[in-house]
């Protein structure tokens, strides 16, 4: 079975990639499957730069084609914050609950018509000795006033889509049909088709 290495230590992302690649019969390995995987410093100024840093570092270390995801939440009323700092918004220890609390408190006095937000996902594909490619996807929504729903990860419980549900109220199949990550994956599948041949991934 064909396998891809995804340079992530985020369990929520890992699960979504496993599901999205499984329909192509492709097995996903992540840094969670590797002993003593390094932490790549996310020193870039954009999602793309950080995705490239993660993908190239891990591709060179393991000498394998590697995909990396750098993603986050951009809130209009906060001038695009937390943006590339989404994972470490409330501190370096990367705590989803503390990050949500910080966003909700910053938006406490912001009315519903000014709570628009966008999820962004940049994916980079790196291969030793080859050019690195990036693709991206977005999802528009609104920030709720409190957590709703139990599914997903990260900011999912406070991100409401046009149906009125938060991402945390969707099944993983429903989220993977519409998410910023899924939209980036659609672009990626076109790239991987060129690399692997048309029959491998549709």
Ligand X SMILES: O=c1nc[nH]c2c1ncn2[C@H]1C[C@H](O)[C@@H](COP(=O)(O)OP(=O)(O)OP(=O)(O)O)O1
Closest separation in Å from C-beta 197 to ligand X: 28
Stretch that binds Mg ion, among 58-66, 79-87, 108-116, 180-188 (CB under 5 A): 79-87
Closest separation in Å from C-beta 73 to ligand X: 6
Can you tell me the distance from the alpha carbon of 119 to that of 143, in angstroms, rounded to the nearest whole number?
11
Q: How many chain residues bind ligand X (CB under 6 A)?
A: 22
**Partner whose binding site includes residue 86, from Mg ion, ligand X, none (CB under 5 to 8 Å by kind):** ligand X
Tokens of 144: 């709720």
Long-range pairs for 17-26 at CB < 8 Å and ≥24 separation? 17/67, 17/69, 17/181, 19/172, 19/173, 19/176, 20/176, 20/181, 20/182, 20/185, 24/189, 24/200, 24/201, 24/202, 25/1, 26/1, 26/2, 26/200, 26/201
Q: Does residue 152 bind ligand X (CB under 6 A)?
A: yes
- Active-site entry in 33, 35, 69, 70: 70
69 as an active site residue: the answer is no
Which residues are catalytic, by number? 70
Residues that bind ligand X (CB under 6 A): 8-10, 13, 42, 69-73, 86-87, 99, 119, 152-156, 167, 179, 181
């Amino acid at each position: 079975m064909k396998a891809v290495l995804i340079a992530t230590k985020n369990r929520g992302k890992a699960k979504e990639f496993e599901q999205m690649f499984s329909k192509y019969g492709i097995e996903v390995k992540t840094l969670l499957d590797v002993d003593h995987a390094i932490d790549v410093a996310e020193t870039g100024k954009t999602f793309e730069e950080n995705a490239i840093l993660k993908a190239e570092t891990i591709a060179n270390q393991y000498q394998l084609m590697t995909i990396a995801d750098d993603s986050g939440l951009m809130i209009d009323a906060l001038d695009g914050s937390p943006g590339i700092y989404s994972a470490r918004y409330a501190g370096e220890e990367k705590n989803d609950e503390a990050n949500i609390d910080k966003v909700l408190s910053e938006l406490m006095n912001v009315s519903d018509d000014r709570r628009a937000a966008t999820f962004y996902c940049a994916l980079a594909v790196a291969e030793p000795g080859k050019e690195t490619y990036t693709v991206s996807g977005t999802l528009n929504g609104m920030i709720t006033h409190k957590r709703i729903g139990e599914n997903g990860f990260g900011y999912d419980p406070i991100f409401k889509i046009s149906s009125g549900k938060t991402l945390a109220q969707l099944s993983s199949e429903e989220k993977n049909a519409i998410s910023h990550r899924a939209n980036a994956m659609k672009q990626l599948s076109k790239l991987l088709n060129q690399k692997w041949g048309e029959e491998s991934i549709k």
